[in-house]
């Protein structure tokens, strides 16, 4: 008597294929039966009211607000776009005396500004409050004319 050529894994794969085919047929029949129950476009439509909430009732056209695309700011304005108000206040967050540079945290804008030892008028250490002006350096803003803040 000959041994069956079908292995267990082949039988399992065939069962899975038949089950998948049967499920597909059932889904197709279900879609055909529910074809009459489809919603219209108006039933599926959602509107946005003046407060930003989603509703199924159309909004009142008199409450419509129009915005100009130029007035919308998507990003934070660059430091070059901000007007220079004069001296700023900040705190020395890091300073390396051997290399002669450090960083100042601006108290108003919370940005870090590079400072070189040549711009200092007194010896500094970390957490000292200072007055400084900003300028544009090759890699970003730099502190100029740094003096002690009392």
Between residues 77 and 129, the one the model is more confident about: 129
3 — pLDDT class (breaks 50, 70, 90)? low
| Residue bearing tokens 């039988």 | 11
CATH code for the domain in which residue 116 is found: 2.40.50.140
Looking at the domain assignment, is residue 131 inside a domain? yes
Cα separations in angstroms, 106 against 46, 63, 90, 129, 138: 46, 43, 4, 10, 19
What whole-number distance in Å separates Cα of residue 14 and Cα of residue 70?
62
Range of the domain at 106: 88-148
Looking at the domain assignment, is residue 82 inside a domain? no
- pLDDT number for residue 19: 96
Looking at the domain assignment, is residue 142 inside a domain? yes
Looking at the domain assignment, is residue 54 inside a domain? no
Q: Which of 149, 110, 105 shows the shortest CA–CA distance to 131?
A: 149
Looking at the domain assignment, is residue 96 inside a domain? yes
Query: How many domains does the chain divide into?
Result: 1
User: Which residues lie below 8 Å from residue 33, measured CB to CB, with a gap of 6+?
Assistant: none
Looking at the domain assignment, is residue 92 inside a domain? yes
Q: Give the pLDDT confidence of 77-95 residue by residue, as tens digits.
A: 665 555 556 789 999 999 9
Stretch 112-141: mean pLDDT: 91
Looking at the domain assignment, is residue 99 inside a domain? yes
Looking at the domain assignment, is residue 137 inside a domain? yes
């Amino acid at each position: 008597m000959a041994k069956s050529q079908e292995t267990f894994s082949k039988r399992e794969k065939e069962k899975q294929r038949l089950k998948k085919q049967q499920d597909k047929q059932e889904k197709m029949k279900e879609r055909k039966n529910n074809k009459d129950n489809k919603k219209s476009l108006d039933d599926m439509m959602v509107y946005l009211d003046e407060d930003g909430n989603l509703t199924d009732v159309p909004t009142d056209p008199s409450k419509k607000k129009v915005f100009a695309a130029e007035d919308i700011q998507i990003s934070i304005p660059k430091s070059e776009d901000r007007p220079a108000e004069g001296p700023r206040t900040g705190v020395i967050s890091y300073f390396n005396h051997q290399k002669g540079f450090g960083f100042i945290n601006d108290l108003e804008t919370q940005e870090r500004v590079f400072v070189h030892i040549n711009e200092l008028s007194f010896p500094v250490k970390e957490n000292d409050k200072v007055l400084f002006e900003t300028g544009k350096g090759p890699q970003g803003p730099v502190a100029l004319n740094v003096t002690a803040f009392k």
